[in-house]
Every structure is written in structure tokens, then in C-alpha cells.
Amino acid sequence: MSPSLKPLLPPSGSLSEEDEACLQAMLFSSAHVVPMVLNAATQLGLFDIINRAGPKAQLLPSQIASELETAVDCTDDDVASRLDRMLRLLASHSLLTCSVKTLEDGRVERRYGLAPSSRFFVKAESEEPSLASLVALHSHPAPQQAW
């Protein structure tokens, strides 16, 4: 089994052999999702937005949504909700940090910050070369059609 998938699986022995095999098959069948979300995040400049807020910044999805430079035909809450799902996926793969707080009314608030690997996806004002172009290349239809 791939070492990168092991953290996603429940502890060994907690699932039947059949369930574990099914779960592994489902993880592999959706393995393309993370690179696509990473590409969308770099195209939207999400890493740049968080970077501009400061090295230890933890931003709400609504704060990130308010900084987007794209014209979207959605409500602010809809954009923030979609971003939250994207950011949560990236955080689950340690590409972002995520802090969770339960509010008095029971709602959960998530804030996202840059993880050590995030700096490689920051395009603006970065001394390091960005991998954003490489992500875009790998996500482009032309190289994918070669497979």
C-alpha cells in the first residue's frame, strides 16, 4: 500500500479485510482529486492570499473569499463554503494547516494557514520558485491525454 494513503486509513485491524480492500480501492479511484484541487487553489491564488496575511496567519474561508480577484456568480456564503471544502482537503494532506474552534452556538469555525510545503505554491512576492506552473502543466488536458 502507498505510504501516502496509510494516514487516511483507519487503524490496522479495525476493518475487515474486505472493507479495507474496498476502502483502498476507493482511495485510489479518487486519487486525481487532490491534484485538481491543488491546481484550482494555485489558479485562484489561495496560497498567495494566505501568505499576504502574514507568516503565522490563520484565515477563515470567508476572509480568503473576500480577497479573490475572480468574478464569481455565487453568494459570498456559497464561495466560502466551497473554499472551505477545498482548503479542508488540502489541509488533510498537510498542504495547509487548519485550526478548529467550536463557537458558542455549536457551529464549527475552521481557519487555514500555510504549512511548510505551502511556500512552494506561493507565486507572488516569493524568493523561492513556485511549483504552481508545474501543477498547472500536470493538470492541463494535453499531458493527461498522453496517458
Residue 121 placed within a domain: yes
Query: What is the number of domains present in the chain?
Result: 1
pLDDT of residue 32: 77
pLDDT of residue 70: 65
Residues 6+ apart with CB under 8 A from 78: none
Query: Is position 81 within any domain?
Result: yes
Q: Residue 127 corresponds to which amino acid?
A: E
Predicted local confidence at residue 29, as pLDDT: 81
The answer to whether residue 16 is domain-embedded is no
Q: Which domain holds residue 118?
A: 35-137
pLDDT for residue 61: 95
Are 66 and 72 in contact, with CB atoms under 8 Å apart? Answer: no
Stretches in the chain below the pLDDT threshold 70? 1-13, 70-76, 124-128, 131, 134-145, 147
Q: How high does pLDDT run on average in the chain?
A: 81
pTM value is 0.74
